[in-house]
Structure 1
Amino acid sequence: MRRRDLTRVPLVADGVPAVDLTAKPPPGRHVELPTHWGPMRLHLRETPGPSVNAPTAVHLHGLAGSSTNWTDLAGLLAGRLRSIALDLPGFGRSEPPLGFGFTRQANAEVVIGLLERLDAGPVHLSGNSFGAAVAVEVAVLRPDLIASLTLISPAMPDLRLNPRRLSDPRIALAMVPVLGARTRRQLAAVSPADRATQLLRLCFADPDAVPPHRLAEAIAEFEERALMPWSGPALGRTTAELVRSWLAPPTRSLWHRLPEVVAPSLVVWGSADRVVTVRKAPRTAMLLPRGRLLVLPRTGHVAQMERPRMVAQAVLGLVQTDSW
């Protein structure tokens, strides 16, 4: 593959309008989708664009995330794009259908079904972490549905054994025979407030900078999830399937999928990402045939939440560049 100087590609739009970054997430709604596992009710949140004919952006969250992870970014994009953020099956308010596989391929099938139902033309698809892995799969399987692709700290294969990558070090013991059952009971006893705080401290480079209103929203969301019987098992299954995909043969690896993406693509990575190392960023961008790279200093695993204005500028720069 011919190497490209990604630093020469325009990365930012002319400007992003000021918006209220204390706004609450938009109200959600469910849509009925047929799947080969049976019908499912997919939950999504919509942020209107400047007109009913505005191009559509679709956003996919990462593990333990939800549609609320895109509130600020969607608001910043609203001057140009309509945004739809969804809860992937088993997360947020989307109950998974019975027998759902929890792989990136299974999630991609659901996302493709939603895009077909929206019938909004090619969309600007973005994903964070596991959601970015799903987004790659969607872009490869249905290039006709994708106008551009933004990957924020995508969950590329990363098998480092480092407890700092976990929101709670005990998670590593949860799958160990004998010890696992006791550890899972201990983890289940962690309060929603502590769970939210642990996750934010893992995913933000500067967790003390998390706005109080966003922390309060995260705690309320974890309290709601505690009442959903599918939430814990879905997180465990999705995590296990993600790790299993990292152990797959090279021809089935996510690395192998990247060169098949034809859409203009942007890779955004935080230099202080503790979950998936930023050292994988250059290779990720170079493998994308039309890829560009933006590494954000002093930023963690969820750049769309920690640096929403910078990410919005980069996304709009991608959207506004017709050819490069």
Structure 2
Amino acid sequence: MKRALLGADEAFGPDRMPPPWPGRMALIDGEQTFVRDTPGTTTAAQPALYVHGLGGSSQNWTDLAGLLSDRLDGQAIDLPGFGRSGPAKQYTIKAFADRMIRLIEVAERGPVHLFGNSLGGAVVVRVAGLRPDLVRTLTLISPAMPFLDPRRSLQGPVVPLLALPRADRLAAWMMGRYAPEELAAQVIEACFNDVSRVSDQRRQEAVEEIKIRYEAAHYADAYVRSLRGLVSSFLRAYLPGANSMWKIASQITAPTLVVGGRQDRLVDIRVAPQVAKVIPDSRLLILDGVGHVAQMEVPRIVARGVVALLDEYEREQAGVT
């Protein structure tokens, strides 16, 4: 593990506020997966794939993907059951990772620069650890890797409810108690350290995303079962066997950037340094005054870290030391 470097801020020009990137449905092994394309703006742009966290969507990558579009030809996906993607039979880390692997294979875009936030971070750790041939570099933002102290997460009080046989109905009832505007405000409060960084445009987009959740009958089930799958992966991580997330992380060969927000209230802040220690070729970037979604709260700083990683990767590919 080494300290992350930052590229020049001037390279990105003035701040922009692009709308969510256009999307389309992709049929992957008979199941509908929604994909947003952020086309590269140069012929040298390389393929990238962005994977969101629990309860999020492909819109979580709008700003970062835009900032990196001169270097990366991006695709951001809605995980099964989230955003505009259809439901799935399984909502485990393995099932999500398998879907990402198939997406890369079917699109014939690999190897890709792979990004993951929160739950998406755990998913792409599995992809990178088990299929190194599909990954150029890996960027993990507040990855939801195993930690066993529920007091370290705002979702801790929810975990005991996962044992209930119809926890999805309870989740749907709890979500239905709030108007979309109220629920969006709660999500922003939980994920951001400084909510003043969220523009009116982004708030309204969050409200529209939540309205889509209200209309999706499968959403509560997808959320509960995904959280259940994540907790299960935490428990297995400390047992012997090939499915330990820590063992899989130790097998990653791609150059990796690990980003953590010091004020993250959803993932224990101790996780990011631990992930960076386990992954052999890693760089650690801890950001003061930042919460769980650094790519949304401080996208320019994250982009600078990614550009430094890309520069290092390209030098290595060219044999330049």
Q: Do both share a fold (TM > 0.5)?
A: yes
Task: State the alpha-carbon separation in 2 of the partners of residues 50 and 187 from structure 1.
Answer: 40
Check the 8 A contact 1:29/1:44 in 2, yes or no: yes
Please tell me whether residue 129 in structure 1 is matched to residue 118 in structure 2.
yes
* SS of residue matched to 1:162: helix
Equivalent in the alignment of 1:17: 12
TM-aligned CA distance change 1:184 to 1:55, over 3 Å? closer
Report the RMSD for the aligned CA atoms in angstroms. 2.2
- Alignment partner for residue 44 of structure 1, among 23, 35, 56? 35
Task: State the alpha-carbon separation in 2 of the partners of residues 79 and 92 from structure 1.
Answer: 26
- Alignment partner for residue 294 of structure 2, among 303, 310, 321? 303
Q: How far has the Cα of 1:143 moved from its partner?
A: 0.8
Q: How far has the Cα of 1:166 moved from its partner?
A: 3.2
TM-aligned CA distance change 1:179 to 1:51, over 3 Å? closer
Check the 8 A contact 1:28/1:44 in 2, yes or no: yes
Q: How far has the Cα of 1:27 moved from its partner?
A: 1.4
Check the 8 A contact 1:50/1:79 in 2, yes or no: yes
Q: Which moved more, 1:267-276 or 1:43-52?
A: 43-52
TM-aligned CA distance change 1:232 to 1:54, over 3 Å? same
- Alignment partner for residue 204 of structure 1, among 192, 200, 203? 192
Check the 8 A contact 1:270/1:278 in 2, yes or no: yes
Q: How far has the Cα of 1:140 moved from its partner?
A: 1.7
Unaligned runs of 5+ in 2: none
- Cα distance per residue 1:144-172 (max 9 Å; x no partner): 110000010000112223386139x6x45
Equivalent in the alignment of 1:225: 213
TM-aligned CA distance change 1:136 to 1:31, over 3 Å? same
Q: Which amino acid aligns with 1:211?
A: S
Equivalent in the alignment of 2:233: 245
- Cα distance per residue 1:259-293 (max 9 Å; x no partner): 10010111000011111111122221011110110
Give the alignment's TM-score, normalised by structure 2. Answer: 0.90
Task: State the alpha-carbon separation in 1 of the partners of residues 12 and 188 from structure 2.
Answer: 27
TM-aligned CA distance change 1:285 to 1:193, over 3 Å? same
Check the 8 A contact 2:175/2:183 in 1, yes or no: no
TM-aligned CA distance change 1:105 to 1:18, over 3 Å? same
Give the alignment's TM-score, normalised by structure 1. Answer: 0.89
Q: Which amino acid aligns with 2:249?
A: L
Q: Which moved more, 1:309-318 or 1:114-123?
A: 114-123
Equivalent in the alignment of 1:114: 103
Check the 8 A contact 2:129/2:250 in 1, yes or no: no
Q: Which amino acid aligns with 1:26?
A: W
TM-aligned CA distance change 1:55 to 1:304, over 3 Å? same
Check the 8 A contact 1:17/1:79 in 2, yes or no: no
Q: How far has the Cα of 1:176 moved from its partner?
A: 6.1
TM-aligned CA distance change 1:82 to 1:158, over 3 Å? same
Equivalent in the alignment of 1:70: 61
Equivalent in the alignment of 1:158: 147
Please tell me whether residue 26 in structure 1 is matched to residue 25 in structure 2.
no
Q: How far has the Cα of 1:223 moved from its partner?
A: 0.7
TM-aligned CA distance change 1:188 to 1:272, over 3 Å? same
Please tell me whether residue 280 in structure 1 is matched to residue 271 in structure 2.
yes
Task: State the alpha-carbon separation in 1 of the partners of residues 240 and 28 from structure 2.
Answer: 33
Q: Which moved more, 1:101-110 or 1:16-25?
A: 16-25
Task: State the alpha-carbon separation in 1 of the partners of residues 155 and 256 from structure 2.
Answer: 29
Q: How far has the Cα of 1:230 moved from its partner?
A: 1.3
Q: How many residues align?
A: 310
Task: State the alpha-carbon separation in 1 of the partners of residues 92 and 127 from structure 2.
Answer: 13
